[in-house]
């Protein structure tokens, strides 16, 4: 197994961090790695906001559901889908400040995927530097307030956050679904899905038991059922995104 593959497969989310500051040199390496990620048609339709200010992190932690690690990590990154820069570039080329770039669901997806690809590169780079990371989708709990707090212009929205810092814990990597449940040869096959889910449920029960001494008794399908309740699916996102200037049609 190559060192890169071993590094990727050793990933684990870190939620406890030492107070050690992240240097500007480390940030430069992480962002340079992010910028090396693939991007659709070279649009580079994403931006990232680095936050060290304690007050801002505290507010973001509250908005993300009172996740303490958002407040306690030395550096919090907010990864944004960004079509604002593309609109600025087009206006410079056309010399028409009123010109709006054409957009639809495709451009929205391109920007969102660009942000995700860049962020994953950043996470891998951070871990290579000895840092720990965890993605924070909870900043979408109250997207409007996050947009206001970070002063995001039209056509920019926060996709997720990322805690960064020197790890102060060493959790066991969480098991993933069996390959048979996610990999399909030639065409999609649903035949082995139920079997793979049942096997994964058993694996997670054992994993949680080993980590909590039997204090957590649940499985993947049970967690999924709870997390996909309508009230937990952020029903206001469409309204906020359209108000932010995205055309989702």
pLDDT 10s digits, 62-73: 999 999 999 999
pLDDT 10s digits, 121-171: 999 999 999 999 999 999 999 999 999 999 999 999 999 999 999 999 999
Q: Where are the domains of the chain?
A: 3-173+231-243, 174-218
Q: How is 39-94 classified by DSSP, letter by letter?
A: -GGG---EEEEEE--HHHHHHHHHHTTS-HHHHHSSEEEEEEEE-HHHHHHHHHHH
pLDDT 10s digits, 77-120: 999 999 999 999 988 887 766 778 899 999 999 999 999 999 99
Token pair of 229 as six digits: 């309740």
**pLDDT at residue 208, as a whole number:** 87
**Averaged pLDDT of the chain:** 94
CATH number of 3-173+231-243: 3.40.109.10
pLDDT 10s digits, 174-226: 999 999 899 999 999 888 788 999 999 999 999 988 876 666 778 999 999 99
**pLDDT at residue 231, as a whole number:** 85
**pLDDT at residue 216, as a whole number:** 72
């Amino acid at each position: 197994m190559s060192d890169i593959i071993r590094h990727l497969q050793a990933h684990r989310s870190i939620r406890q961090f030492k107070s050690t500051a992240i240097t500007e040199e480390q940030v430069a390496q992480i962002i340079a790695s992010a910028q090396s990620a693939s991007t659709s048609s070279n649009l580079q339709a994403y931006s990232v906001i680095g936050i060290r200010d304690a007050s801002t992190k505290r507010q973001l932690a509250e908005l993300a559901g009172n996740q303490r690690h958002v407040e306690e990590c030395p550096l919090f990154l907010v990864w944004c889908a960004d079509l604002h820069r593309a609109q600025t570039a087009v206006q410079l080329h056309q010399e028409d400040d009123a010109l709006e770039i054409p957009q639809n669901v495709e451009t929205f997806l391109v920007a969102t995927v660009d942000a995700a690809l860049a962020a994953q590169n950043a996470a891998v780079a951070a871990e290579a530097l000895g840092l720990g990371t965890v993605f924070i989708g909870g900043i979408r709990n109250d997207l409007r307030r996050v947009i206001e707090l970070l002063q995001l212009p039209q056509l920019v929205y926060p996709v997720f956050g990322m805690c960064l810092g020197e790890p102060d814990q060493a959790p066991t990597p969480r098991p993933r679904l069996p390959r048979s449940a996610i990999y399909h040869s030639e065409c999609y096959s649903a035949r082995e899905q139920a079997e793979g889910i049942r096997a994964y449920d058993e694996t997670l029960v054992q994993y949680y038991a080993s980590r909590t001494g039997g204090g957590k008794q649940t499985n993947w399908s049970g967690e999924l059922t709870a997390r996909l309740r309508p009230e937990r699916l952020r029903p206001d996102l469409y309204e906020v995104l359209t108000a932010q200037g995205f055309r989702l049609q």
